[in-house]
Amino acid sequence: MRTAQAKRGLSGDVVDAALAADEQRRSSIAEYEQLRAEQKQLGKKIAMAQGEEKQALLERTKTLAAEVKKAEAAQGEADQRYRDLVMDIPNLAAAEAPEGGEDNFAVLEEVGTPRDFADEGFEPKDHVELGRILGAIDVERGAKVSGSRFYYLTGAGADLELALVNMAMDQARGAGFTTMIPPTLVKPRAMEGTGFLGQAADDVYRIEGQDMYLVGTSEVPLAAYHSDEILDASSLPLRYAAFSPCFRKEAGSHGKDTRGIFRVHWFDKVEMFSYTTVEESYDEHRRLLGWEKEFFDKLELAYRVIDVAAGDLGLSAERKFDIEAWFPSQGRYREVTSASNCTDFQARRLDIRARFEGGVRPVATLNGTLVSLARAIVAILETHQQQDGSVRVPEALRPYLQGREVLEPAAGAGAAR
C-alpha cells in the first residue's frame, strides 16, 4: 500500500498515522461498548428492584454513568481523528497508470489526422474570431455582465450547444443510461465525499454564509445521489447521464488560456456516471471511454487518448483516460473529456453499498465526460471552419441543427460591440 501511494507522491507517514488512529479508534469503541452493556444490565435490575436494594443499585450505577460518558466522548474524538486523517488519503493509483506527473502521460492511441490548413491555402481563424463572424459567441458582453472567463452563446452558438446536448443525450439513452438533470448546488457532504474539498477546494465556489457549494461537475450530485443507500446488487450497473452547468474558479490558472471560451468559470456538460462492482469497474472504464470516442468520432474531430500519470490523478481516481482533441488555433491536442475509475473510493466516503451474496460491500463509481460544451464548440468551429468563416456541420449533428449543413456568417456580426 505504501509503495503504491509513493507512486503518486504521497508520503507513507500519512498512511501510518491513519492506521494508528484506526487502532486507537477500535479500542476506544470496544471500551465504550463494554461499559454500555454493563450499564444496560444494571438498568434492567433497577427497573425491577424495590426499596433498599434499588437504592444500592442506584449508588453503583451513578459512577458507571460517568464512566460511560467519558468513554463515549473518547470514542467520538478517536473516530473524528481517524476520519480527518483518512479523508486526506487519495485513492490508490492503478499499477498500470504511468509513473510521474502532468507531463508523464502515455498516449494510448491517435484517431484521425489533424486538418492541414496550409495544404488548403488559408490560415485558420480561432474560435473567438469565428464566433464573432457567426454571431455565435459574445465574450465582450460576457465580460461586461459577469467578468472575465464568461460568455454568451448566441444564435448559432446556442443552437450548436443544444444540438450537442441532444445528440449526447440520445446516444446515452440509446446505450441504456438514465438521463438526468441534477442539482448543481450541494451540501458539503457531497463535495467532500467525491473528493473535491481536499487539494481541489481552491477551485470550488462556495455560497457565502450558506455552507453550500456550486459543483464543478455533475459527478458530484450523481455520486451523492445514492449516498447512504444499500443497492440491490442485481441492479448494477446503474448508469446515469446528466446535463448540468459546471462552475470553476480556475484559481490556479491565471493568465492561462485567457482568450475565448476554452477555459471559463462556467460551462455546461453532459456527464456519464456508473455504479458497478470494483471487479467490473475496469471494463466499465473502457466502456465509458468507448462511448466518449463514439461521440467525438461522430463530430469528425481528430483526437488522441491519453493514460493520465499517477501523480496527476487527483484525489479520487485510481486511473484516468482523457480524450484530447486537436485545436487548430493552438496547434496541439487539448483535453476535452476525462474518464475516471474511482473504484470504491467515493462509495466508501458517501456510504454507497450493495447487497451481494457474501454480504454488504461498497460499490465502485466511475465518471466520464460525454461532451463538455464550451470546448466541444471550440473544437468544432475551429476544425470545420471554411475560408469565409462559415463552419461545416458534421453529418451526425445535422439532424439536431434543423438540418443545417453549414453555419453561415451572421448579417451584421461583429458590429455587436
Provide the binding-site residues for RNA, judged by CB under 7 A. Answer: 30, 32-34, 36-37, 39-40, 42-44, 46-48, 58, 61-62, 64-65, 68-69, 76, 230, 353, 355, 359-360
- Which whole-number Å values give the CA distances from 186 to 180, 201, 240, in the listed order? 16, 14, 18
Calpha distance 160→393 (Å, rounded)? 9
Number of other CB atoms surrounding residue 277 within 10 Å: 18
Contact at 8 Å (CB) between 270 and 165? Answer: yes
Q: Is 334 a catalytic residue?
A: no
Q: Which of 25, 132, 319, 375 is catalytic?
A: 375
Q: Is 263 a catalytic residue?
A: yes
Cβ 230 to RNA shortest distance, Å: 6
Cβ 210 to RNA shortest distance, Å: 10
Of 248, 268, 194, nearest to 224 by C-alpha is 194
If the CB atoms of residues 252 and 359 are measured against RNA, the closer one turns out to be: 359
The amino acid that residue 205 corresponds to is: Y
Cβ 244 to RNA shortest distance, Å: 16
If the CB atoms of residues 7 and 25 are measured against RNA, the closer one turns out to be: 25
Q: Which of 67, 300, 335, 408 is catalytic?
A: 335
Contact at 8 Å (CB) between 352 and 233? Answer: no
If the CB atoms of residues 37 and 145 are measured against RNA, the closer one turns out to be: 37
If the CB atoms of residues 211 and 279 are measured against RNA, the closer one turns out to be: 211
- Torsions phi, psi for 308 (to 5 deg): -65, 140
Q: Which of 338, 349, 353, 372 is catalytic?
A: 338
Q: Which of 25, 149, 239, 248 is catalytic?
A: 248
Cβ 37 to RNA shortest distance, Å: 3
If the CB atoms of residues 31 and 257 are measured against RNA, the closer one turns out to be: 31
If the CB atoms of residues 50 and 402 are measured against RNA, the closer one turns out to be: 50
Burial class of residue 145 in the structure, from the number of CB atoms within 10 Å of its CB (0-12 exposed, 13-18 middle, 19+ buried): exposed
Number of other CB atoms surrounding residue 116 within 10 Å: 8
Cβ 32 to RNA shortest distance, Å: 7
Cβ 68 to RNA shortest distance, Å: 6
Indicate the pairing of strand 212-214 with strand 332-341.
unpaired
Is the peptide bond prior to 237 cis by the omega test (within 30 degrees of 0)? yes
Output the CA angle 124-127-133, nearest 5 degrees: 90
- Which whole-number Å values give the CA distances from 14 to 8, 28, 97, 313, 350, in the listed order? 13, 21, 22, 18, 21
Q: Give the catalytic positions in this structure.
A: 248, 263, 335, 338, 375
